[in-house]
Structures are given as structure tokens and as C-alpha cells.
Amino acid sequence: MAIPEKQVPAVHHRRIGDIIVTTASDGYLDGSMAVIQNIEGEEAARLLRDAFRPVPRRTAVNCFLIRSGGRTALVDTGCGTHMAPSAGRLLDHLAAAGVAPEEVDTVLLTHMHPDHSNGLTDAGGRPFFPKAELVMHEAELAFWHDDAAMARADEMSRERNFMAGRTQVAPYRARMRLHRGGEVFPGVTAMPFPGHTPGHSGYMVASGRDSLLIWGDIIHVPEIQIPRPEVTMAFDIDPGQAAATRRRVFDMVATDGQAVAGMHMHFPGFLHLVRRGEGYAMINDGWYPAM
């Protein structure tokens, strides 16, 4: 009997009324603890160890496919082919889900950080999704194309965020649509969640009585930021606003019992939040075999 040498494709389907949402993992990124801010380093490490998670941090990268009204949208595109060998798996997992890149007619970006937009094009600048319209908040495109903002950034951010982002979206310029919130795809409503980036957005998927909030980068390290929502990340453009937005979204989803999906939740990324004293706890959703 052959011994498995790798996992089966990381694809998971969830029905939201008449809409199918599919998590397609892009892999994961291992990163420094130094980017976790507003908490003592040893306390952050303790929270990870207590949850049996790796120290330094390991961050999942999820993308979400939405099939609604005979159309196909992809929320975020992952890390592409040039961030880390542990990431860049999106196209393989879309294939495992039976979806070819040319079948994606809409790409909805939560924001333009490289682990969300690098998968728009290959290393030669050719679009991976040749028939897709690119949709994002108008403030997101404006910020990453602001030369003054780029001049204020450090060298790494100028190269990895500003210049890379401009390169990634360039092939889609003729097929780009900007929003300020509201319906952006059948059954999908954009919700501005600024702070992490100026145009950072979540997407509410709703059909019949069912709904799912794909909340983007409301959190990066769930074991730390869910019990400690004041904790921010070095790559938050406005850390104070990011923390305030996180508290607002936490309050909303806990009050409403809203099902949530996150880019940096552990695969397949579905959860609920509940209040625990002055803070919150996550309840990871179980597996739903029925489609």
C-alpha cells in the first residue's frame, strides 16, 4: 500500500441558499512575530503555544470561489508564484474544484496586499484570469497608485506593495470596476472595512435565509486577535482604525450570530464568534457534507 506523501486538494464547499461558496486554499506563509503589535512578544507566543500553534506564526491563505446566478467570482487571488514555496496553490485547487481560470468572470479583491493580489498575473505579467472583470473599492486603487504615499513608504513596501500591486492590476485596467460598497455580484454585497488598508472590504454573500460574511483581513492571527482585538499588525496602514473596525465587525457578527469566512483562518476558514466576558472566542464550523 502506497503511503500518502501530500494532502488531498484543499477545497471545501459550503451552500449559502442557492449560492455555492468554495474555499480554495492558496497554502500558508510562515512569518516573524515582530509584525504583531500592541502586545508583548512573550504573551503573543504564549497564546499561540496554548492553542498548539507554531511559534513563530504560521498564517493560512484562503481564497473563496462564489458560484451564483450562473456566474463565477473569485474573492482574492492569493500569493501567486513568487512569495513562498508553501503558497501559490490556488490554481491547482481551483482545478481540483473543476474550475478553469477562464471560467472566472469576476475577481473581487478585499485589498491589494501581495498575499491577496499577487495571484492576478504570472511572473511575466500575463493575467491568470483572462476573462475576468476586476472589482475593488475605489479607495484601494487610489491609495496604491498614490506616488506621494509610495514615497513615504519604506523600500520593501514600495517594492512588494506599491510597485507589485500596480503591476498586478495593470492587465485588468480595461476590465476594472470600482465600488464604494453595495451589490457587486449576484447575491454579494461589498462592505467597506477600512484600516488595514484604505479600501479594505468584506463581502456579504446572501441567499434566502442564509448568509456568509467573507471578512478579508479583519484578523491575521486568530488565536491572538480574537481574544485580544486591540492587537494590530505592522502592515496595517492605519492601526488605530484597523483595531476599531475589528471591534465593530466582531460586535456585529457576535450579535447577529453571523457566519464568517476569513482569508487567514485555518482551512477551510469558516467560523462564528461568541462573546466571552470582555472578549470573544471563535467557534470553528463543523463539516457540512450535504450540498
State pLDDT tens for residues 7-53. Answer: 999 999 999 999 999 999 999 999 999 999 999 999 999 999 999 99
Q: Which of 251, 117, 99 is nearest to 171 (CA)?
A: 117
Interstrand relation of 19-30 and 58-68 (parallel, antiparallel or unpaired)? antiparallel
User: Could you tell me if 52 and 42 are in contact, meaning their C-beta atoms sit under 8 angstroms apart?
Assistant: no
142-149 long-range contacts, CB within 8 A, separation 24+: 142/198, 142/199, 143/197, 143/198, 143/199, 143/237, 144/112
Share of the chain above pLDDT 70, in %: 100
User: Could you tell me if 228 and 275 are in contact, meaning their C-beta atoms sit under 8 angstroms apart?
Assistant: no
Spatial distance between the Cα atoms of 232 and 63, rounded to a whole number of angstroms: 22
- Model confidence band, residue 290 (pLDDT cutoffs 50, 70, 90): confident
For 89-119, write each residue's pLDDT tens digit.
Answer: 999 999 999 999 999 999 999 999 999 999 9
pLDDT at 288 (0 to 100): 79
For 163-216, write each residue's pLDDT tens digit.
Answer: 999 999 999 999 999 999 999 999 999 999 999 999 999 999 999 999 999 999
Stretch 254-269: mean pLDDT: 97
Q: Which of 188, 240, 197 is nearest to 217 (CA)?
A: 197
Phi-psi region of 155 (alpha: psi -120 to 50; beta: other; left: phi over 0): alpha
Cross-strand partners of 179: 137
User: Could you tell me if 63 and 78 are in contact, meaning their C-beta atoms sit under 8 angstroms apart?
Assistant: yes
Spatial distance between the Cα atoms of 86 and 30, rounded to a whole number of angstroms: 9
pLDDT at 284 (0 to 100): 93
Stretch 226-255: mean pLDDT: 98
Query: What is the arrangement of strands in the sheet containing 106-108, beginning at the earlier edge strand?
Result: 11-16, 19-30, 58-68, 71-75, 106-108, 133-137, 176-179
**What domains are defined for the chain?**
11-284 (3.60.15.10)
| Angstrom distances, CA of residue 225 to CA of 93, 201, 202, 277, 285 | 28, 18, 18, 15, 18
**How far from the centroid of its chain's Cα atoms is residue 147's Cα?**
25
Spatial distance between the Cα atoms of 258 and 216, rounded to a whole number of angstroms: 15
**How far from the centroid of its chain's Cα atoms is residue 159's Cα?**
21
